[in-house]
Amino acid sequence: MQEWIKELQQMVNTREKLADYVDITPDEDAAITTMRTRWGTTPYFASLMDPQDPACPIRRQVVPSLKEKENKYGIQDYLIHKENRAVGEKRPDCIARQYQDRIAFTVTDVCANYCRHCFRKELVVDQGLSLRFDVDEGLGWIREHPEVRDVLITGGDPFILSDEKLGRIITELRRIPHVQMIRFGTRTPIVLPSRINKELCEILGDFHRVPVWINTQCNHAREITEETARGVYDLMRCGVNVGNQAVLLKGINDDPQSFRELHQKLLTVRIRPYYVFYCEPAPGIDHFRTPVEKGAELIRDAIRGHTTGLCQPMYVIATNIGKVPLMPDYYLKEKTDEEYVLRNYLDQNTSLPVIPE
Ligand SMILES: *Cc1c(COP(=O)(O)O)cnc(C)c1O
Ligand code: SF4
C-alpha cells in the first residue's frame, strides 16, 4: 500500500489521537466533544502544530473552535449563492461556473485536512449540503461545452482520489479537443506531501498538449518543510507548475511579518504565489475574517517593493460574479496636464510625462 494511503488511514481525528500531538485546552476539548463537525488532519501536518500554543497558526486551521458556532456576518446557504447553483443555466452538481472559458469541477468532498476556515464548509466540513460528485456527468457536460478551455478540478481535495480515478479524469479531459489546460486545487503538497509520489507523477507527467497546473494552499511559513520542497520539485520535474492560493486569516497571517515571510518562503520551495483570498463570508468562520481592506494594506506594507516581484500574489475577493481584485492604489499620486506623479513603496515620488492620445 502506498504510504500516503496509510497516512490517511491514521488521520488525527479523535480526541485521543489529538492528545498525542498537543496539550488540548478546555476550549478545544469542548469544541471537539460537543460540536457535530468533520475535523482532522494527517499525522504529518499534526506534527507541525505547536503542542503548547493553542494560537499556533497551524493548530488554529486544524482544531475546531467553539467560535464556529457564532455566525453574525456569514451568509446562509453561502455555497449555493457563491457558485451560482440556483440560477442560470442547468449544470451538473459537480460543475460550478462563473466565467465563460473556465469552470470548477468538484470531484470529491474528502480532504486530508479539514480546514476550519474552509469556504466550502457547508459541503466539506459541516456536511449540511450534499452534492452529487458524478465525474462522468461532469466530463459529459464539458464535452458539450466547446467554450470551456480551462478545467479547474477541485473538491474537497482531488488528490485524495485514487491513482486510477485521477488518471481516468486526466486522460478523458485530455481527449477533449477544446480543453487546453487542466488545473488542480489541492492542499496535499502542504498537508500530505507523501501523496506526491512516483505513481502520481506518472499520471500527471510528461510533455503533453494539455498541461497540468496545480495551486496549493499554504497560509503560514511554518507549513513549509523539506517534504513540501521535495514534493514540489518532483511535480516540476514532471512538467507541473505549482502556485499558491493563501487565505487571509486573522491572527494567522494578517500581520506584515507573517505575510511577507510566507510569500518569501514559498519561493524558496519553488511555489509561486498566485492569489491571496479574502476569507469568504461562509457561515461559522467570522473569527477568521479581517476587514476587506486588510489584504491590500498587507500587499502595500509587506510585499510590493519590499521583496521581489516574483513573490507578488494578487489579492482577490472570490464572489458569485467571479474574483474581484483589490490591490493597493497608492502608486499614481496625481495626474496633471503635463505629468503623472508616481509613488513607490518608500513613499518617494517621481514623475513621468503625459502623452496626449
Ligand atoms: C476561482 C474559480 C475559477 C478560476 O479562476 P482563475 O482566476 O482563472 O484562477 C474558475 N471557476 C470558478 C467557479 C472559480 O471559483
Ligand atoms: S483542503 Fe480545501 S476544501 Fe478541504 S477543508 Fe481545506 S480549504 Fe476546504
Domain boundaries, the chain: 66-325, 331-357
Q: Whose CA is nearest to atom 7 of ligand 1?
A: 323
**pLDDT at residue number 357:** 86
* 300-336: pLDDT as tens digits: 999 999 999 999 999 999 999 999 999 888 899 999 9
Question: Do 38 and 124 contact (CB within 8 A), yes or no?
Answer: yes
Q: Alpha-carbon distance 110 to 162, whole Å? A: 12
Q: What is the mean pLDDT of residues 249-275?
A: 98
The mean pLDDT of 228-240, rounded to a whole number, is: 97
Give the pLDDT of residue 86: 81
What is this structure's pTM?
0.96
The class (CATH top level) of 66-325 is alpha beta
**Structure confidence at residue 205 as a pLDDT band (50, 70, 90):** confident
Ligand 2 centre to CA of 152 (Å) is 15
Mean pLDDT of 49-78: 96
pLDDT > 90 in the chain, percent: 89
- Whether ligand 2 lies within 6 angstroms of the CB of 187 is answered as yes
> How many other CB atoms sit within 10 Å of the CB of residue 13?
17
pLDDT class of 85 with cuts at 50, 70, 90: confident
pLDDT at 88: 78
Q: Which residue has the cell 469542548?
A: 30
Q: Does ligand 2 lie within 6 Å of residue 107's CB atom?
A: no
Query: What's the pLDDT tens digit per position in 139-173?
Result: 999 999 999 999 999 989 999 999 999 999 999 99
In terms of DSSP H, where are the helices of 50-118?
A: 59-62, 78-82
> How many angstroms is it from 104 CA to the middle of ligand 1?
7
Compute the average pLDDT of residues 30-39: 95
